[in-house]
Amino acid sequence: MCAFIGSVYDKTKTYGGGAIMNDIKDVPLYLWVVLIIILLAQGCWIFWDASKRGENKWLWGFFGLLNVPSSLIAYLIVTRFVSKSTLCNVCGKKVRKNYNYCPFCGEKQNVEV
* Dihedral class, residue 37 (left if φ above 0, else alpha if ψ from -120 to 50, else beta): alpha
Q: What is the pLDDT of residue 54?
A: 74
Q: What is the pLDDT of residue 4?
A: 53
> Do 96 and 85 contact (CB within 8 A), yes or no?
yes
pLDDT 10s per residue in the chain (113 long)? 555 555 555 555 554 555 666 788 888 999 999 999 999 999 999 999 988 877 889 999 999 999 999 999 999 998 887 767 788 888 888 887 777 888 889 888 876 54
Q: What is the pLDDT of residue 113?
A: 45
